[in-house]
Amino acid sequence: MADNTTNSLTNNEVIKQGNNEYRRTVQHLPAFYRTDTNQRFLASTLDPLVQKGSLERLDGYIGRQDAYTRLITDR
């Protein structure tokens, strides 16, 4: 299986597919290491770790507002 030729001057770090953006770790390698095997390995191991996450804002607190163990006269 022959590897695809790569252009070392292009930077495809972020690939857009529709509304989604995917970050690729293989683009950080020198051109001669961007083989099919390395692309498949990095796509399955490191690429999921460097994707943007989806965050949900949560407001609130855990615990009590008033501490019953402390008195106002404590110093």
Tens-place pLDDT, residues 37-57: 998 999 899 888 888 888 888
Q: Are 51 and 14 in contact (CB under 8 A)?
A: no
pLDDT tens digits, one per residue of 5-44:
656 555 567 777 677 777 888 888 888 888 899 989 998 9
pTM of whole model > 0.85? no
> Which residues, at least 6 apart from 27, have a Cβ–Cβ distance to it below 8 Å?
11, 12, 13, 34
The identity of residue 27, as a single letter, is Q
Burial 16-38 (b: 16+ CB within 10 A, else e): eeeeeebebbbbeeeeeebbeee
Each domain of the chain, given as residue ranges in start order, spans: 14-49
